[in-house]
Amino acid sequence: MVPIVKFLADLIAIPSVNPAFAPPGGPHSGEERVAALLHERARAVGMDCEYAPVLPGRSNLIVRLAPAQARRRILLAPHLDTVGGLEIPGNLFTPVLKDARLFGRGACDT
């Protein structure tokens, strides 16, 4: 599997249901695990990272790439959570690669 596809599959495999759509304290609730993976990967390639608390147990992850010669900035503002789907039979957090497309909860969300 191509490294970027593997990385995206790893993200899909992490349950990250917005707490408003999951039982309190449920195993699929919250974005913390997705943020932790992104934080780990960004730090591994030398990016600056920080968490910005929003609500208890929920933080934004801010990642910066600041080359010395940068003159312009690009802001990417994706979200880390998914919504609902727990009522659908099957495991939406199991990524499936079919016909060169990756399927799973959140695969085409941002």
Q: Distance (Å, rounded) from C-alpha 108 to C-alpha 110?
A: 6
Q: Distance (Å, rounded) from C-alpha 79 to C-alpha 97?
A: 23
Confidence of residue 69 (pLDDT cuts 50, 70, 90): confident
Confidence of residue 33 (pLDDT cuts 50, 70, 90): very high
Question: In which residue are the tokens 């929003």 written?
Answer: 54
Report the percentage of the chain scoring pLDDT > 90: 45
Backbone conformation region of residue 8, classed left if phi is above 0, alpha if psi is from -120 to 50, else beta: alpha
Structure tokens at 41: 């990967």
Can you give the pLDDT at residue 86?
A: 65
Residue 61 has pLDDT above 90, yes or no: yes
What's the chain's average pLDDT? Answer: 87
Confidence of residue 32 (pLDDT cuts 50, 70, 90): very high
Residue 89 has pLDDT above 70, yes or no: no
The b-or-e profile of 20-46 (16+ CB within 10 A means b, else e) is ebbeeeeebbbbbebbebbbeebeeee
Confidence of residue 36 (pLDDT cuts 50, 70, 90): very high
Phi, psi dihedrals of residue 63, rounded to the nearest 5°: -120, 130
